[in-house]
Amino acid sequence: MTDAKRSGELVDRFFGKVKQAAGSVLGDDALKREGRLHDEKAEAATEAARREEVAAETAAEADVVEHEAALLLEEQSLAAQAASEARAERIEHDQRTQTERVEKEHAASEEGIERSATQAKSAVGRDESAAARQRDDAKRAAASLEAEAEQARATADMLARAGDDTTGGTTR
């Protein structure tokens, strides 16, 4: 309450008491009523000032509650944002980990394929070498058989000529 209002209330109370006292001394009921009205006016002003103070306190409390609610809302928003960022980081980390795992598996698979291809080439090389040896052995065996056959033909021809010489050229 301002000093001017308080001064006005004190003046109203003072005049109210003076008029009530004067009305009692003079026996003037109207002056007594006027004194009571000044008292009631001062009392109403005091009550209005008290209610204004209560209203101001309530408004200040409401401002504090509103500010606290805004702070809580901002805190919740920041927490949600932090949780969202953490979730995004986890997802990104999981994706990187999965990509690395897939790349490692792919590299291992490629190595396995290359190893299998190398082993297959080596086996083909061994098989080709074995086949070449077998072919060479078969050629040598065929050449040996042909030589034996040629020798057998030559022996047969010689025996046939020798038999012709002993039989006088008659063939049976």
Residue 170 within any structural domain of the chain:
no
Residue 103 within any structural domain of the chain:
yes
Domain count, the chain: 2
**In this structure, what token pair is assigned to residue 12?**
């109203």
User: What confidence category does residue 56 fall into, taking pLDDT thresholds of 50, 70 and 90?
Assistant: very high
d(CA 136, CA 169): 44
Q: Which domain holds residue 48?
A: 1-61
Q: What is the pLDDT of residue 166?
A: 72
> Taking the CB of residue 9, how many other CB atoms lie within 10 A of it?
20
Share of the chain above pLDDT 70, in %: 94
One domain for residues 49 and 104: no
User: What confidence category does residue 170 fall into, taking pLDDT thresholds of 50, 70 and 90?
Assistant: low
Q: What is the pLDDT of residue 169?
A: 55
Residue recorded with tokens 């980390």: 93
Q: What is the pLDDT of residue 88?
A: 96
Query: CA quadruple 130, 136, 138, 141: dihedral positive or negative?
Result: negative
Q: What is the pLDDT of residue 79?
A: 95
Residue 13 within any structural domain of the chain:
yes
At residue 31, does pLDDT exceed 90? no
Residue 77 within any structural domain of the chain:
no
At residue 73, does pLDDT exceed 80? yes
Q: What is the pLDDT of residue 12?
A: 80
Q: What is the pLDDT of residue 97?
A: 96
> Taking the CB of residue 24, how many other CB atoms lie within 10 A of it?
13
d(CA 160, CA 5): 166
Mean pLDDT of the region 36-47: 87
